[in-house]
Structure 1
Amino acid sequence: MGDWPGSDLSDEELDVAYNVRRKSGTEAMNLHLARYKTESEQAVAGLPGHPGVVYDETSGERLDVWGIDDQALRPVFVFFHGGYWFALSREESSFMARTLHEQGIATVVPDYTLAPKATLEEIVRQARAVVAWVHRHGREHGLDPDRIVVGGSSAGGHLTAMTMVGGWQQDYGLSEDVVKAVMPISGLFDIRPVTRIYVNQYVRLDLERAAALSPALLPVGARCPAVFVVPENDGTGFLEQSRLFQPHWEAGDLMVVPGRDHFDVVLDLGDPDSTVGRTLIDLVRSV
């Protein structure tokens, strides 16, 4: 399948580049994950919304809608959680909802069936089904179907990119430009390295399937505004992924966030005074 990011590295070197649990340390990672849960609970307490809505009849998966306004449709930020496609859920992933609500923006946080119960092809299908649901049913839930912004962290950054690329929208009856802007955080855009790291025990990819599921190797389609966020202290593989994909997209900015790592950078989405938080608000308002 030719050269790909890290194809010249040993298995040990690839693990160093992509094993962010190893880089951050288990204790620090667990502290950040606990913050995801606590800050999400605090963010949505008393917030107007529609939790637990089934968005995909095939899988039965659900999403939460937060931060709506009964008086007007709101632009919506759809956030796909990380966890290397095999961990986490929407319960830990709404920590930005209150901040966005205060800025006139609604938040949609979906679950997707985790690997290995679901294949990565199925997980991608579900991510696209989320976008289709927002476009078709957004109005009845306080969402503006013409102002959809998508973001996600790590594996969620990959899913974000799989909604950016072209060639899938027609199957869902959507226009190529249904996604108006994107913010992948620590995204994975050429996932062929996954075939040689520990994550593959869950997603079980070979090089051919990994290539078919790599946004960097798929048709670009309608380029929308994009901000590719990656923390300064991320794994080197994630840094390289964003640095390679951003020029390929030809319509986005690369933001390297100083002092942040793979796990804490995403929490900045809930801080309107942070560079990442301000940038997200400005991105949504621009569409």
Structure 2
Amino acid sequence: MDAATLDVEYNARATTPEMPAIVEGYRTRTGAARAALAWSTHAYGPTEPERLDVYPAGANAPVLVFIHGGYWRALDSADGGSMAPAFVAAGACVVSVNYTLAPAASLDRIVDECRRALAWVHANIARFGGDPARIHVCGSSAGGHLAGMLLVSGWQAGLGLPERAVSGATLLSGLFDLTPLPHTHINAWMSLDTASVARNSPALLPLPSGLPVVLAYGDTETAEFKRQTIDFASALRDAGCDTVLLPARPGSNHFDIVFDLGEPGNPLFEATRRAMGI
């Protein structure tokens, strides 16, 4: 594709005129979760953005770690807790991760922050009832990419984590092969080059085997966003993961599939619940 076509294909906002209202709903529903549940914020690093919100559950509970999207340059953990009431009610501890946004942080730094957040969860979540052996990572859009970077193999020992620090993943409309992005408007704030693309593309890195992974995308997504998920699902299957690619909910879009994650009975919630063993 030429640069003009790639710009259209990777402009998720243009596919969803109602995007501002949906994104406002992230904050509103997270606020409702905070009002209804016990929760607390904790630092996993030295700077203000390096924090996460913990919604505890019962003893020895599986843990859902959610990473927000926003093309690495927008949103906050305060937008990432809409699914907490449903998963806490199902018996899971929920963690919403915050990170430094681009362009203040490079993608290398953002990935490193999310990995250190996971290390914090692994070391500390038992204090909140969570089982560090059952951490299921989840993210939407750019957060799907970041969750994918937690899933890949080879980095865990450097942070004192076991190779199987993650027990599964749910990836919503993520970006897994970043090769096209330097040729799009996104690079105005990401400053990606060939080397950083290679370091930060889950589809180009070693993948684990034997893990349950759920993937989904919105019905009205562009062909490229759909391809990213379909191709990564195939790569995960080839690696030996127990991979479920859900059919798109009719009428769903790049942004509102996050709400499906918080609705018991919805196929996305139910597939994630089963992958977590609850």
Q: TM-score, with normalisation over the residues of structure 2?
A: 0.94
- What stretches of structure 2 of length at least 5 have no aligned partner? none
Q: Is the 8 A contact 1:18 1:236 kept in 2?
A: no
Question: Per the alignment, in what secondary structure is the counterpart of residue 146 of structure 1?
Answer: strand
Determine the C-alpha separation between the residues in 1 that align with 2:115 and 2:209.
15
Number of the residue aligned with 1:54? 43
- Structure 1 234/60 Cα, relative in aligned 2: closer, same or farther at 3 Å? closer
5 Å matches for 1:113-262?
113-250=100-237, 251=241, 252-259=243-250, 260-262=252-254
TM superposition shift of 1:271: 0.5
- Cα-Cα RMSD: 1.4
Determine the C-alpha separation between the residues in 2 that align with 1:209 and 1:223.
28
- What stretches of structure 1 of length at least 5 have no aligned partner? 1-8
One-letter amino acid matched to 1:64:
D
Question: Number of matched residues?
Answer: 273
One-letter amino acid matched to 1:54:
A
TM superposition shift of 1:58: 6.2
Number of the residue aligned with 2:96? 109
Q: TM-score, with normalisation over the residues of structure 1?
A: 0.91
Q: Is 1:20 aligned to residue 20 of structure 2?
A: no
Determine the C-alpha separation between the residues in 1 that align with 2:132 and 2:147.
17
Question: Per the alignment, in what secondary structure is the counterpart of residue 256 of structure 1?
Answer: coil
Segment drifting more, 203-212 vs 162-171: 203-212
Calculate percent identity across the aligned residue pairs: 37
The runs of at least 4 aligned residues of structure 1 exceeding 3 Å deviation read 57-60
Determine the C-alpha separation between the residues in 2 that align with 1:10 and 1:219.
29
Determine the C-alpha separation between the residues in 1 that align with 2:210 and 2:236.
7
TM superposition shift of 1:256: 2.6
5 Å matches for 1:65-104?
65-69=54-58, 72-104=59-91
Deviations 1:111-145 (A, max 9, x none): 10000111100000011111111111111222111
Q: Is 1:29 aligned to residue 19 of structure 2?
A: yes
Number of the residue aligned with 2:2? 10
Question: Per the alignment, in what secondary structure is the counterpart of residue 84 of structure 1?
Answer: coil
